[in-house]
Amino acid sequence: MLLSAPELLKTESRSVVVRAQVRGGPVPAIILKHFRDDPVCGLDDQAGADFLTRQGLEFGPRLLAADVDARLFLLEDLGRGRSLEALLRGEDARAATGGLIDTARLAGQLHARTLGLQSEYELVRQALPPRPQRVRVENARFLLDHEERLLRWLSAVEAEAAPGLHEDLQDVARTLANPGAFLAFTHGDLAPANVLFTPGGPRLLDFEYAGMRHALYDALMWLVTVPLPDELIARADITYRITLSSRCEAAQADSAWVHARATVALARTVNLFQWLHPRVLEEDREWAPGLSERAALLHHLARCRALLAPVDGFPGLVRTLETLEARLRERWTVPPFRWPAFRELE
C-alpha cells in the first residue's frame, strides 16, 4: 500500500492528523493520527476507535492499524462533510436543528448499544499501556480533589458555602464513579466540531476523552455546555431519552431521569469553576469561539438551575451555586450567545 497527497488536517500539542490517498489499496484514503505530548489521551483515542470497530459499531471511523511504540494509528477516512458546528454557524435553522436532533439520536444509540460492555472495553484499553485509573473515577476524583477551587470563587465574591456542600459533592462524585444502570461507552468530548455529517450519516470524531462513564456525560453538550434555544434543548433531550430507553430501563423512569440529568449538570458546572480562575472577575476572555468565559459561567449556572428545579436533593450544593450566580449577575451584564443559525428564532 502506497500513500500519496498528504493533507494536514490538524496539528496541536496532543496530536497531528493527516489525510493521505491510498494507491493500490482497499480504500481510497486513510487518516493517520500521531499523538505526541499526552499518551493517555492518545491511547484512549485509539482504544475508543478499536473498541467500536471490534463491536461492529459504526459511530466513528474504523481503526485500521496501530503502532503503540510509534504513537501512531490509522483510521478509516469518513470523507468530507459538514460538522454540527458548521451547521450552527450557518444560516439554515432547519439544517442546524436537524443536525442537533440527529446528534442526540446518535449519542442515544451509542450509549444504548454499549450498556453492559464495560468488560469488553476494558479488555481493549488494558491491552495497551494502562491508564492510571478509569476515566469515570478520574472525573470523580477531580471533582473532590479541587473543591478548594470552588471555595476560592466564593471567597472572591465574598460569599460562603452553604452547609452540606462537601457532602453533596461527595454524592455527585460517587454517582460519577459508579453510574449504575447508566454506565456506557461515552465519547467524552461531544462538542459540535466533533460531529461530522457524512453521506453514511452522522459520525463522531476524536475519541481522546472516551471511556466507560455516565451516559449523560455526553448529553451535557445540549443540556448545559452549548447555548441553544430552550425548545431545541427539550427536543434533543426527549430524542436522546427515547433512544437510550430502548435498552436502559432507568431512562424510562422520570425520577431516575431527572436525578441523572441534575447530577451530571452539577458536576459539569462545578468543573467549570474548577477549570477557570477567579481572575475572570477582573478580565473576561474567550472560552470558546464567540463565547466568553463570563458568558459560559452564567450559562452553566442558569442551565444547571433549570435542571435542578424538579429535583429534591443536593441542598448544600444548590444553595451554594444559587448564591454564586446571584453575586456574579450583580457584577456582570453579559449579552446572550446566539448561534447564527438561530438568530431569527430568539
Task: Report the SS3 class of residue 15.
Answer: strand
Among candidates 141, 168, 164, 165, which has minimal Cα distance to 153? 165
Q: What is the mean pLDDT of residues 151-177?
A: 97
Across the chain, mean pLDDT equals 95
Confidence check: pLDDT of 59 > 80: yes
More confident: 112 or 37? 112
The string of pLDDT tens digits covering residues 298-329 is 999 999 999 999 999 999 999 999 999 999 99
Cα separation, 74 vs 66, whole angstroms: 6
Higher pLDDT, 175 or 38: 175
The answer to whether residue 345 scores a pLDDT higher than 70 is no
Position 3 confidence tier, pLDDT thresholds 50, 70, 90:
confident
Domain boundaries, the chain: 2-76, 82-342
Q: Could you give the 3-state DSSP secondary structure of residue 208?
A: coil
> Position 14: which residue type?
R
For the structural domain made of 2-76, what CATH number should be given?
A: 3.30.200
* Torsion-angle region of 18 (φ positive above 0: left; ψ -120 to 50: alpha; else: beta): beta
At residue 17, the 3 state secondary structure works out as strand
Placement of cell 462533510 in the chain: 81
Cell of 90: 450557518
- Give 120-123's long-range contacts (Cβ < 8 A, gap of 24+): 120/51, 120/54, 120/55, 121/47, 121/51, 121/185, 121/211, 121/212, 122/212
User: How is residue 342 written as a grid cell?
Assistant: 438561530
pLDDT band at 14 (very low <50, low <70, confident <90, very high): confident
Q: Identify the pLDDT of residue 6.
A: 87
Q: In the chain, which residue ranges form alpha helices assigned H by DSSP? A: 39-55, 84-88, 93-114, 118-126, 135-145, 147-156, 165-177, 216-220, 230-245, 254-275, 293-308, 315-331
Handedness of CA 321, 326, 328, 332 (dihedral sign): positive
> Would you say residue 135 has pLDDT above 60?
yes
Please tell me the predicted confidence (pLDDT) of residue 318: 96
Global pTM value: 0.95
The pLDDT value recorded for residue 1 is 67
Nearest to 219 by CA among 86, 107, 59: 107
Tell me the C-alpha to C-alpha distance, in Å, between residue 54 and each of 9, 48, 93, 124.
Answer: 26, 10, 37, 9
Grid cell 460562603 is found at 160
- The sign of the torsion formed by the CA atoms of 245, 251, 253, 254 equals negative
Which pLDDT value is given to residue 336? Answer: 86
State the pLDDT at residue 167: 97
Q: Which helix (H) or strand (E) holds 183?
A: strand 183-186
pLDDT tens digits, one per residue of 259-281: 999 999 999 999 999 999 999 99
Rounded CA separation 338/137 (Å): 35
* Rounded mean pLDDT, 30-35: 93
pLDDT of 51 > 80? The answer is yes
| Residue 144 reports pLDDT greater than 80 | yes
Task: Tell me the mean pLDDT in the region 13-35.
Answer: 87
What gap in Å lies between CA 62 and CA 76, rounded to an integer?
Answer: 5
What pLDDT is recorded for position 98? Answer: 97
Label residue 181 exposed, middle or buried (CB < 10 Å: 0-12, 13-18, 19+). Answer: middle
**pLDDT for the residue numbered 321:** 98
Task: Tell me the C-alpha to C-alpha distance, in Å, between residue 344 and each of 92, 99, 131, 156.
Answer: 10, 18, 46, 38
The predicted pLDDT at position 280 comes to: 97
Answer yes or no: is pLDDT of 47 > 90: yes
Walk across the sheet containing 82-83 and list its strands: 82-83, 195-198, 201-204
How far apart are alpha carbons 28 and 22 in whole angstroms?
Answer: 5
CATH class of 82-342: alpha beta
What pLDDT, on a 0 to 100 scale, did the predictor assign at position 203?
97
| Distance set, CA 318 to CA 197, 229, 270, 295, 314 (Å) | 38, 24, 11, 20, 6
